[in-house]
Chains A and B, each alone.
Chain A
């Protein structure tokens, strides 16, 4: 029973990390119908930003979280205005956007190689190895904090999307951009805002990840894949679905160790993805219009 409890807690905390990684990707696809391949690049950039602010200025990563997210939000808007905006809207720009954003990712990664070399970096704080006891199990303070941030992002996103004018506009644009233009919603501004928000969330995820693992400029590739799995499982465009899918994926991966060798657990998520696509192609929670 103790072992079951420990695995359950491990899965819940892991879900926190997975969901933070996936929110930004899901949000951008849900509204712009663009697969942001630069999501991995921004995860890596967020990790370096958090590390640099801590390393050079001594700023705690959880303090710099808002700053990094805000700067990445601005970067996202610049990428949208400067590049993505020029592509055909919606599905018509699909392939071009893939190539474009993949190119941006490569540039971001190579800039990181030039600036920081390929060496692994780690972000160490005074609480990096601290733990608190919960029901007999010791839980990492860092992992609990990451989980807390994941829940906070979920709550804030939900509130913004359902209770604010901007949020309602984002949902409306996700549903039917042409009609939105007719009723005076500034669709391009909403697109830019959403792209910025998704980029900011990716950087936030990277910063949180940097408190847990070593990273280098190739960081973000595996995280992008994991984000894909979570977003597709949850149903594209569903924020709550993303969080629940992250929990399901984490539960499956963690408990799989009871029945299969540990090295195969990483593949379990992809098996689950294939099964969901065959049985329920719209994702476990279907297609939603955000919220």
Chain B
């Protein structure tokens, strides 16, 4: 039977498709040579990032944030430990965007390279896998790349997250929509078409929207569907959105799915009074891929924006330093979170006055320091599993290509526009 050998490789290929997409490392991004055990004369901090593979673009952004934080610490003579400045060194490895690699490299950093502390990787699934290793080894693990509440609901003691939960992202967006509804610019009740990626990120987004929608009776969720990551055809799903004649189109998607879905959304002639893809929307790459016109008035909620520099001195300091280091380029939230993650750990070490893991953990638990994040303060509340609940900022793409902050009111740099003027 000819089919048999053909099918026998199906499983092998399925496995291969899930393997690290690349073990190769770009020059300058490679793993550092195995270090000897750190002496008390330096602080060795381990981290992995997805420098290759599916998340490599964002992994590179986090690397920029980490590097800037370490560079600044070095320029300041190191991190102060018990009145003595110690040089701080980053041992950064490439986890190739693969869960298994992220976990095994974390284990290597802790048990072979003997790092003092760990900084986290990017992407919820990688942080989820890696944080288990940190917890098992009782080492402080501070990450700015894992937002899903599932990571922080496990009762872990050594895991700290700077990304506020995606539920809060959805809530921030709904609050702005609610204000527009109260002002009579959005119908009451408003119907919602809710599409979410079938990941913990998407589930949190869905929960945030539905919890808010179910509160006052001013919203009705007409479509509530999930989709697989890296989808190729959303036409059937968008057909449901069209049939529902929803007022609000709220989706949660990663960048490739945002581009594919929005392209099909526009092609199908859809238009809603409010359009959002969760944290995606203002990316330059999306505007280039879809055309500026096709991303107009899309709203997105993000963990940080360079526009915060107008109102937050720490954000301004970071933006200036970043632009100086990277030829005038503006940072995105990824670099800011990378930078702030490293800074949070340095602060905890300084406050602890020692490299004792327990002491540093205690300072992280009790941390309340000024921050470049929205809200201006960084904490790791115990009631939320040591996950920061810093507020989100909501932004909206405008026809001139800018994406000003439209919410919350204390951070807003412009007034949001609703309903979408492009809908006729």
Give Cα distance in the complex from A159 to B14, angstroms: 34
Interface membership of B353, Cβ < 8 A: no
| Nearest 3 Cβ contacts at the A-B interface | A118-B56, A122-B289, A221-B17
Q: In chain B between 64 and 92, which residues have their CB closer than 8 angstroms to a CB of chain A?
A: none
Q: Given B5, B14, B22, B230, which contacts A217 in the complex, CB threshold below 8 Å? A: B22
Q: Given B1, B9, B22, B225, which contacts A262 in the complex, CB threshold below 8 Å? A: B225
Chain B residues within 8 Å of A281, by CB: 1, 3-4
Interface membership of A192, Cβ < 8 A: no
Contact at B263–A128, with CB atoms within 8 Å? yes
What residue of chain A has the Cβ atom nearest to residue B256's Cβ? A214
Q: Which residues of B contact A (CB under 8 A)?
A: 1-7, 9-10, 12-14, 16-17, 21-24, 26, 52-57, 97, 198, 225-228, 230-233, 235-237, 239-240, 243, 255-256, 259-260, 263-264, 266-269, 285, 288-291, 294
Contact at B235–A10, with CB atoms within 8 Å? yes
Q: Which residues of A contact B (CB under 8 A)?
A: 3, 6-7, 10, 13-14, 17, 29, 33, 35, 37, 40, 91, 94, 98, 102, 109-110, 113-114, 117-120, 122, 124, 128-131, 138, 140, 142, 209, 212-214, 216-218, 221-222, 224-225, 228, 231-232, 236-237, 253-255, 257, 261-263, 265-266, 277, 281-283, 287
Contact at B232–A35, with CB atoms within 8 Å? no
Q: Which of A6, A14, A94, A255 has the most B CB atoms < 10 Å from its CB?
A: A6
Give Cα distance in the complex from A262 to B97, angstroms: 26
Q: Given A17, A113, A232, A263, which contacts B232 in the complex, CB threshold below 8 Å? A: A17
Chain A residues within 8 Å of B16, by CB: 37, 102, 221
Take A124-B291, A225-B13, A232-B6 as given contacts and tell me if A263 and B228 are in contact as well, using a CB distance cutoff of 8 Å.
yes
Q: Given A29, A110, A113, A218, which contacts B6 in the complex, CB threshold below 8 Å? A: A29
What are 6 inter-chain pairs, A to B, with CB distance below 8 A?
A7-B236, A10-B236, A17-B232, A35-B6, A212-B263, A277-B3
Contact at B236–A236, with CB atoms within 8 Å? no
What residue of chain A has the Cβ atom nearest to residue B53's Cβ? A118
Take A110-B24, A138-B268, A254-B235 as given contacts and tell me if A128 and B13 are in contact as well, using a CB distance cutoff of 8 Å.
no
Contact at B230–A222, with CB atoms within 8 Å? yes
Contact at A114–B225, with CB atoms within 8 Å? no
Give Cα distance in the complex from A220 to B71, angstroms: 39
Q: Given A124, A225, A262, which contacts B237 in the complex, CB threshold below 8 Å? A: A262
Take A254-B235, A262-B225 as given contacts and tell me if A217 and B6 are in contact as well, using a CB distance cutoff of 8 Å.
no
Give Cα distance in the complex from A257 to B239, angstroms: 10
Give Cα distance in the complex from A221 to B53, angstroms: 13
Q: Given A37, A138, A212, which contacts B9 in the complex, CB threshold below 8 Å? A: A37
Give Cα distance in the complex from A281 to B3, angstroms: 7
Total inter-chain residue pairs, C-beta < 8 Å: 166
Contact at B239–A7, with CB atoms within 8 Å? yes
Q: Given B6, B269, B290, which contacts A131 in the complex, CB threshold below 8 Å? A: B269
Contact at B260–A213, with CB atoms within 8 Å? yes
Q: Given A98, A129, A255, which contacts B12 in the complex, CB threshold below 8 Å? A: A98
> DSSP class of A's interface residues: helix, strand, loop or mixed?
helix
Chain A residues within 8 Å of B22, by CB: 109-110, 113, 118, 217-218
Contact at A33–B2, with CB atoms within 8 Å? yes
Give Cα distance in the complex from A230 to B231, angstroms: 18
Contact at B7–A257, with CB atoms within 8 Å? no
Nearest CB of B to A249, in Å: 12
Nearest CB of B to A12, in Å: 11
Chain A residues within 8 Å of B264, by CB: 140
Chain A residues within 8 Å of B294, by CB: 129
Give Cα distance in the complex from A265 to B9, angstroms: 23
Give Cα distance in the complex from A10 to B264, angstroms: 11
Contact at A118–B52, with CB atoms within 8 Å? yes
Take A118-B52, A281-B1 as given contacts and tell me if A263 and B13 are in contact as well, using a CB distance cutoff of 8 Å.
no
Chain B residues within 8 Å of A253, by CB: 233
Q: Given A37, A118, A142, A254, which contacts B21 in the complex, CB threshold below 8 Å? A: A118
Give Cα distance in the complex from A23 to B333, angstroms: 43
What residue of chain A has the Cβ atom nearest to residue B265's Cβ? A129
What residue of chain B has the Cβ atom nearest to residue A140's Cβ? B267
Contact at B263–A129, with CB atoms within 8 Å? yes
What residue of chain B has the Cβ atom nearest to residue A267's Cβ? B228
